[in-house]
Amino acid sequence: MRLFVALEIPASTRDALRALVAQLAPVCAGARWLRPEGIHLTLKFIGEVSDEAAQNMRAALHQICMPAAVELEFRGWGFFPNARRPQVFWAGVHANAVLEKLADEIDGRLAPRGFKREPREFRPHLTLARFKSGEGLHALQSELVRLEKPSAQSGGASFGKATIEEFHLMQSTLRPTGAVHTTLETFRFVAAPTVSAAGART
């Protein structure tokens, strides 16, 4: 099975991204646009593993605990590696320090169990499209400039905010129409508050 670890994004953010993709996809035929329902904030891509390895992985992920929730704002967009010869078009993710610590903790917990550490710096984003060719790229960039003008003073178009306390082990099944993602297990990484005898949350 082909696995990755990710955070779910709010339905309202998914709807906002769906509207953006609907505007941009017609002008850029050289991009393969992802279905909005398949967009997640990936923390670690794992790849093909056996059922036994997946069980081993779940045991490690259950050990993860963070002191606070991840606070996210989905805002702006950009290209990897650059706008001149892009491979990926993405929506921006702005987060508190917990997000990077969570990604590093997942990496660290899985490494002793045979899953290689990520060689690249963690750069949170939501992938919206991958480029097959440069067809329509100039038109796409012109449309982005037009869309950026009304939101420039606020630091870029916003697609919503979220407070997240759990992550998910996801299975990706490749099909001709695109990848289908299934949640295998959910892991809460913020300890639930305890209630004292007097009824106060601690």
Question: Mean pLDDT in runs of 10 for the chain (202 residues)?
Answer: 96 96 96 92 95 93 97 96 95 97 96 90 95 96 88 72 98 84 96 54 50
Helix (H, G, I), strand (E, B) or coil at 134: coil
138 is annotated as an active-site residue: no
The beta strands (E) that lie in 9-102 are given as 31-33, 41-48, 70-80, 88-95
Domains of the chain, with CATH numbers? Answer: 2-188 (3.90.1140.10)
Within 8 A by CB and 6+ apart from 72, the residues are: 7, 41, 93, 94, 95, 99, 161, 162, 163, 164
**Per-residue model confidence (pLDDT) at position 194:** 45
**Per-residue model confidence (pLDDT) at position 193:** 56
Using the structure block, give the residue that is written with the tokens 């905010």: 161
**Per-residue model confidence (pLDDT) at position 195:** 46
User: What does 154-195 look like in DSSP terms, one character per residue?
Assistant: GTS-EEEEEEE-EEEEEEEEEETTEEEEEEEEEEE-BPPPPB
**Per-residue model confidence (pLDDT) at position 104:** 97
Burial class (CB in 10 A: 0-12, 13-18, 19+), 129: buried
62 is annotated as an active-site residue: no
Helix (H, G, I), strand (E, B) or coil at 102: helix
- Which is the catalytic residue, given 40, 62, 94, 181? 40
- Output phi, psi for 140, to 5 deg: -65, -45
Using the structure block, give the residue that is written with the tokens 């508190």: 96
| Rounded to 5°, angle at Cα 2 from 98 and 165 | 25
**Per-residue model confidence (pLDDT) at position 84:** 93
- Which is the catalytic residue, given 94, 125, 168, 181? 125
